[in-house]
Amino acid sequence: MRWWRVAAVAALAVSAGGCVRTISPARNFDAYEHKAKDTAESALSAVQTARLGARVGTDGDAFGPYVSVLFSEAEEGASKAHATFDSVQPPDDHSDRLRRQLGVLLTEADDHLGNLRIAARRSELDRLAHLAEPLGPLARKLDHFIASHE
């Protein structure tokens, strides 16, 4: 059973690393909204990977260095998606509101993923489950954002 969890975490980590998309200019709200949805999907992937990593790290099903790398890659993927999206010029006022809304979620993801990485590097694996608790509600918010911008 343990090997299955570790394999699942590894698969999620690999898929999270490939989710960051190159973002080109948005000429109208629809294009900007699509870029926002893609960015939220990348962040959600990183968040879900970290949730699973926190679970296996806390349960003792993975070593500290492994979850440390996992969290580092999840954080890097989320922060790259955030930075790439921030570089896109919002084409109108409606896009500005969308940018602010998603920005709050992306900043929250960056903060929580960073906290998990730091704890794992300090070998504080017993804290991972507690630090990952906010990721469940964040994942639901990101999922709602994605669904509302299909």
* Domain at 55, CATH number: 1.20.120
134 within domain boundaries: yes
Tell me: the pLDDT tens digits for 66-116?
Answer: 999 999 999 999 999 999 999 999 999 999 999 999 999 999 999 999 999
Domain coverage including residue 84: 2-17+27-148
Whole-structure pTM value: 0.83
Contacts of residue 21, Cβ cutoff 8 Å, sequence gap at least 6:
38, 39, 42, 81, 84
Contact status, residue 53 vs residue 62, Cβ threshold 8 Å: yes
Alpha-carbon distance of 53 to 74, in angstroms, equals 10
**Structure confidence at residue 136 (pLDDT):** 98
Work out the mean pLDDT of the chain and round it to a whole number.
89
Dihedral angle, C-alpha 105, 107, 109, 115, nearest 10 °: -150
pLDDT at 51 exceeding the cut of 60: yes
Q: What is the CA radius of gyration of the chain?
A: 16
**Structure confidence at residue 44 (pLDDT):** 98
DSSP 126: G
pLDDT at 10 exceeding the cut of 70: no
50 within domain boundaries: yes
**Structure confidence at residue 24 (pLDDT):** 67
22 within domain boundaries: no
Total structural domains within the chain? 1
